[in-house]
Structure 1
Amino acid sequence: MLLRPTRIVFLLVAAYGLYLLHEFLFSSSTESPTGPRGPHFHIPPSRLSIQYPFKKNGIGKDEAKAEAVKKVMERTWRLYKEKAWGADEIRPVSGERKNTRNGWGASIVDSMTTAAVMGLTDVFADQYDWVVNQVDFSHAEGLVDPFETTIRYVGALVSAVDLLEAKVIKAPSKSYRKDILHQAQILADKLGPAFDTPTGMMWPRVNFEENKGVDSDGGRKESTSVHLARAGSHWLEYSTLSHLTGNPIYLKNSTKAWDWLVYNRKEETWPGIIESPKSIWTGASMGNTRTLGAPDDSHYEYLIKAHLLWPNKYSTKHHAKRWVQAMESAHKHLASKSAKTSPSNIFLLSFSRHRYENYMGHLACFAGGNLLLGAKYLSRPDLFEFGEGIIAGCRYAYDATDSQIGPETWGWEPDEPKEGTADFQKPVTAPQKDFFKAKGIWPTNVNYPLRPEVVESYFYGWRITGEQKYRDWAWDAFNAIVKASEAEWGYSEVSDVTRLRIDKTDNLSNSCESFWSAETLMYLYLIFAEPELCSLDEWVFNTEAHPLRRRL
């Protein structure tokens, strides 16, 4: 049967439209038309192996240690469910409920992927039922933080779909894909006004009642600015959501800020490292902070991970290039050897208010593992060595304290000056001076809020090199953390890592963020689990440790 010319035209237009949608979603996401035309370095094949060949070398699961981590997760879940079900957190000393993430049950949703990876079928079933049948993401307690909500909630939901489709855990329902993605889209749609700025950099908060982006106080000031982690840490989650749903709006929103972050055409003092914070109205720098630590950390983390997630997209090759620039600049300008530790350790300086600061935070310890990941993939032995040095330095911060847990922040004496810095900071209090004399570093903030970054880097060290020391260090950290943090109703932030606790309530801050079960226990378990579980050759972890399948 012959088709009429009008029908032929309609079919051609429809086919071309589908082609453009496919290209937008799965080939070359939104790019700056005047941006750089691609990297000037070798990009390896997408199937290049990142992970150490464990199976070939007869290395598998450490059953006893993996089971020990799993038991801590099971206890965490059981006590939370008993005393604080539906709340964002439990207060682990008192057993009280606490809402810090808008009352959507952050501890339930954020730990979904940990339960899946550990094979905790009953726990996952409870979490799935909460997500699908009980939580209402269209209403929120208070203003919503789009950064934290994206990495914890949206990241968990899309990761859960990926894990279920990979059959990592048995699906509680045949309709799991539709049901979970329905909830993910409700939440992502409500977060959409966060991107309603001239630059696409997110508002610090979203008012769900009025459906508009706002400042942290609910207003809309022309002076509003954001740091890089907030501006640049949502592409992994939203590109995955667009892929899973076929709706390009989430990917489109997450690329709006690229002109000021990835395709930045302004001259950079240190190539690849951007001054922050940034104006959400103009994209101009509102300060001169340059750091791999908070509050800019995950922007740099996501540059290489964007490319690993979608290695065949043209645009993400530029992400990889920017990551290399940033890490080369960090190596040149921020790496600092300690003068008083033996052996000399590598720590990361920050630059702020026109001077270097010789303080490093626990959050910055992610950089060691991130360097190993990118350097292995891009064949950069110099950056790989840099990453190993940072991991060893963070390990030293743990080894230096009585609790064997690193402090939230610490200082050290650099072995050489930096241009423009007459004097580095020194220990001030008597305890700091005594600690420095004994260990060559000094804590500037002695608490430990159950953070994952050090064991996260051990995870990458283990999975990429296969060196037993990373498993050993992880086991030391696990035992030290459990010993210091165990409370009647779970595991608590430690008040002071420089001393040992006296009794079961001593030295605890009665707080437990959802990243304890979402990240810290996830990475610890994966270090001792079967190495092929969530292999780095097949998965990329978002900044909340939610595994996303690589789109190879």
Structure 2
Amino acid sequence: MLPTYNPGTPSTPLPHGRNLFRRISWRWLAVIGLLVTFTLFWLAAPIPYRLAPLDARPPPPAGPPPPKDQASVWEERKEEVRRAYVHAYTGYMQHAFPADELLATSGGKSNKFNGWSVTMLDSMDTMWMMGLHDEFADAVKVVAGQNFTTNAHFYAPFFETVIRYLGGLLSAYALSKEPILLSRADDLGTLLLPVFNATPSGFPAYSVSTETGKTAPGWMGNVILFSEATSCQLEFKYLAKLTGRKEYYTAVDHIMNTLYATNPKDGLFSLTWSSEGKPSDQHFSVGASADSGYEYLLKQYLLNGDTKALTQYIKSMDGILDKLLYITPTRELLYVGSTNRGNALHNLEHLACFLPGVLALGAHTIPANLLPEKTRERHRWAAEGLAYTCYISYADQKSGMGPDGLSMKAGTLWVERLAEWEAGGRAGKPPGTKEGGRRDRGQRDYETGSAVYLLRPETVESLYVMWKTTGEEKWRERGYEIFAAIERSAKTKYGYASVERVDSEVVGLIDDMPSFFLAETLKYLYLLFDDTDPYPFEKWVFNTEAHPLPVFEWTEWEKKRYNITS
């Protein structure tokens, strides 16, 4: 019989096994089990899972990670733009080349500009500036085999061919010094020369057959637009410099002399001209049909020292500031309108957003002895106010992309407000330079006239010039806002598409990717985020398609040969 267990008599022993179980409770068994399991895991675990010795561990963070320095932020943003270009160009090469442009939503292609691969030729200098030298080298091979003659029934539009193709080839040559690029530019320049012989005035015809030399009018008949007549000065004069061919210079300089001789009232040029070189309307604007004509007045002076062009530029800017600039009644937004037969038209075109950049560029580069200080001051104020309005037209929209046209709430002339401000002792900021926040519909001082964003460059171009001439980082930040909006809403699997319904959370996409998106918009954004200033305004002049050409001087023999008197 087993001994009786009496808890009151601890001296009475239990059998060995039961005694051990009773003394070691289930809790202790659990602890021992965990220790054994952890030890086995420790010995089996790979080294990275084991804790480092205390003296080898980094100290715990004191707070959030420190912000990146500004230089690295802008370098990253510049690289983002570079990747955007690569995406757009790769889509074009894979789905549209050798046609002109990519259809960005369908992956198709279009030929609106001669069928000579305009997206490639128009953006070769962008490739070079972004360091995409393999892509550039491949493009050079295409240019080497390029034939700019076409069938006798095809006519190349003069204006677009000059600014995109000829300007693109000349700029790519200036940057790379690849001789074949100059050779092809010379070929193209020769094929375009017949346009100057087609009218009594020497103003260029709308288009030309590069095979037969015959010319043809545009959709407006024999009417010649101010911008199309004049936006060939930089390209043909630089080509004359490179080749020594007199006909390139004399053909385009004759146009300027004809325009100067009309001595337009207030320095404002009519939008349309007859083939005899006479103004044929009373419509004055800096938007479509006029824009680059005014731009090239300043840039002829900057490129080669043409003082006649500079004199006209100052006179024309005075007329624009006095007659076409207004301030809206509530937000005090500065905008540039137009007039037709004396009637004010309060419409701001996206194309007119080049103007603040030109004003800022002139105020920054024209020497003191050629531009009175009071005029320089006015140009800077106007540039600041107009650049802000162009930017805020993007920021106001739900998509962050700007409309192609705005109908402004009619305001008062800027010069009137400016005179009141000066008479009052210049208290506060100059009129038109006030900045506020974004506004919802009904509070904007404008209505959207055309709610599409066509990937245009004019606003980011002006933001770039404003940053370069003022050093104020806010212009760069605003440019990045626009780029982020493009990335967010315009990017497709093939490239980037133009956008409709810009004031909607969900935009519509237009099946189109214009060559100027790669040649201008992305280029200016890339340069806006570049801290190195590789193309200073004192050494390079950008044509109206953002193709940089190097500043040069005429030699004495060139002045004599071309009869240069300014």
- TM-score scaled by structure 1? 0.79
Q: 2:169 is matched with which residue?
A: 157
- The equivalences for 1:83-98 within 5 A come to 83-98=95-110
Residue 287 of structure 1 aligns to a residue whose secondary structure is coil
- The equivalences for 1:356-505 within 5 A come to 356-378=344-366, 379=368, 380-416=376-412, 437-501=442-506
The one of 318, 322, 329 equivalent to 1:328 is 318
The one of 281, 287, 298 equivalent to 1:304 is 298
Q: Does the CA-based 8 Å contact 1:277-1:285 persist in structure 2? A: yes
List per-residue Cα deviations over 1:61-116 (Å, max 9, x = no partner): 92101100000001111111111111100101000111110100000100101001
Code of the residue aligned with 1:278 in structure 2: it is: W
Q: 2:258 is matched with which residue?
A: 260
List per-residue Cα deviations over 1:343-386 (Å, max 9, x = no partner): x1100011124421100110000000000001122351211111
Q: Does the CA-based 8 Å contact 1:361-1:410 persist in structure 2? A: yes
List per-residue Cα deviations over 1:408-457 (Å, max 9, x = no partner): 000111333799xxxxxxxxxxxxxx965232211101111100000000
List per-residue Cα deviations over 1:6-49 (Å, max 9, x = no partner): xxxxxxxxxxxxxxxxxxxxxxxxxxxxxxxxxxxxxxxxxxxx
The one of 268, 274, 284 equivalent to 2:269 is 274
Instruction: Report the CA distance between 1:340 and its aligned residue.
Output: 2.8
Q: Does the CA-based 8 Å contact 2:271-2:285 persist in structure 1? A: no
List per-residue Cα deviations over 1:454-487 (Å, max 9, x = no partner): 0000110111111101110110010012212111
Residues in 2 aligned to 1:360 and 1:130: alpha-carbon distance in whole angstroms: 40
Q: Does the CA-based 8 Å contact 1:340-1:413 persist in structure 2? A: no
Residue 72 of structure 1 aligns to a residue whose secondary structure is helix
Residues in 2 aligned to 1:374 and 1:181: alpha-carbon distance in whole angstroms: 29
Matched, 1:99 2:111: yes
Q: 2:9 is matched with which residue?
A: none
Instruction: Report the CA distance between 1:542 and its aligned residue.
Output: 0.2
Residue 464 of structure 1 aligns to a residue whose secondary structure is helix
Residues in 1 aligned to 2:128 and 2:514: alpha-carbon distance in whole angstroms: 19
Instruction: Report the CA distance between 1:59 and its aligned residue.
Output: 7.3
Residue 508 of structure 2 aligns to a residue whose secondary structure is coil
Matched, 1:291 2:288: no
* Stretches of structure 1 lacking an aligned partner (at least 5 in a row): 1-57, 166-175, 420-433
Q: 1:207 is matched with which residue?
A: 209
Q: Does the CA-based 8 Å contact 2:100-2:110 persist in structure 1? A: yes
Code of the residue aligned with 1:105 in structure 2: it is: S
Q: Does the CA-based 8 Å contact 1:60-1:529 persist in structure 2? A: no
Residue 401 of structure 1 aligns to a residue whose secondary structure is coil
- The equivalences for 1:348-359 within 5 A come to 348-359=336-347
Q: Does the CA-based 8 Å contact 2:499-2:509 persist in structure 1? A: yes
Q: 1:129 is matched with which residue?
A: 141
Code of the residue aligned with 2:320 in structure 1: it is: A
The one of 79, 91, 97 equivalent to 1:79 is 91
Code of the residue aligned with 2:328 in structure 1: it is: S
Q: Does the CA-based 8 Å contact 1:61-1:531 persist in structure 2? A: no
Q: 1:511 is matched with which residue?
A: 512
Q: Does the CA-based 8 Å contact 2:206-2:218 persist in structure 1? A: yes
Residues in 1 aligned to 2:74 and 2:195: alpha-carbon distance in whole angstroms: 44
List per-residue Cα deviations over 1:487-523 (Å, max 9, x = no partner): 121000001211122xxxx600110110000000000
Aligned CA distance change for structure 1 residues 59 and 69 (closer, same or farther; 3 Å): closer
Q: Does the CA-based 8 Å contact 1:87-1:104 persist in structure 2? A: yes
Aligned CA distance change for structure 1 residues 290 and 60 (closer, same or farther; 3 Å): farther
Residues in 2 aligned to 1:229 and 1:482: alpha-carbon distance in whole angstroms: 32
Q: Does the CA-based 8 Å contact 1:93-1:508 persist in structure 2? A: yes
Deviates more, 1:347-356 or 1:288-297: 347-356
The one of 230, 237, 244 equivalent to 1:246 is 244
Code of the residue aligned with 1:484 in structure 2: it is: S
Residues in 2 aligned to 1:257 and 1:483: alpha-carbon distance in whole angstroms: 44
Code of the residue aligned with 1:532 in structure 2: it is: D
* Stretches of structure 2 lacking an aligned partner (at least 5 in a row): 1-69, 369-375, 416-438, 554-566
Code of the residue aligned with 1:446 in structure 2: it is: A
Residue 443 of structure 1 aligns to a residue whose secondary structure is strand
Aligned CA distance change for structure 1 residues 185 and 539 (closer, same or farther; 3 Å): same
Residues in 2 aligned to 1:465 and 1:245: alpha-carbon distance in whole angstroms: 37
Instruction: Report the CA distance between 1:60 and its aligned residue.
Output: 9.3
Residues in 2 aligned to 1:60 and 1:253: alpha-carbon distance in whole angstroms: 48
Aligned CA distance change for structure 1 residues 458 and 509 (closer, same or farther; 3 Å): same
List per-residue Cα deviations over 1:127-182 (Å, max 9, x = no partner): 1111112x2112268321110000000001111111114xxxxxxxxxx21x1122
Matched, 1:216 2:218: yes
Rg larger in structure: 2
Residue 486 of structure 1 aligns to a residue whose secondary structure is coil
Instruction: Report the CA distance between 1:264 and its aligned residue.
Output: 2.5
Residue 485 of structure 2 aligns to a residue whose secondary structure is helix
- The equivalences for 1:107-146 within 5 A come to 107-133=119-145, 135-139=146-150, 142-146=154-158
Residue 62 of structure 1 aligns to a residue whose secondary structure is helix
Aligned CA distance change for structure 1 residues 152 and 246 (closer, same or farther; 3 Å): same
Identity percentage of aligned residues = 31
Code of the residue aligned with 1:112 in structure 2: it is: M
Q: Does the CA-based 8 Å contact 1:110-1:156 persist in structure 2? A: yes
Q: Which has the higher contact order (CA 8 A, sep 6+)?
A: 1
Residues in 2 aligned to 1:60 and 1:463: alpha-carbon distance in whole angstroms: 19
Residues in 2 aligned to 1:417 and 1:549: alpha-carbon distance in whole angstroms: 38
The one of 333, 337, 343 equivalent to 2:327 is 337
Q: 1:48 is matched with which residue?
A: none
Instruction: Report the CA distance between 1:187 and its aligned residue.
Output: 1.2
Structure 1 vs Structure 2 CA RMSD: 2.0
Aligned CA distance change for structure 1 residues 436 and 355 (closer, same or farther; 3 Å): farther
Q: Does the CA-based 8 Å contact 2:326-2:414 persist in structure 1? A: no
Code of the residue aligned with 1:284 in structure 2: it is: K
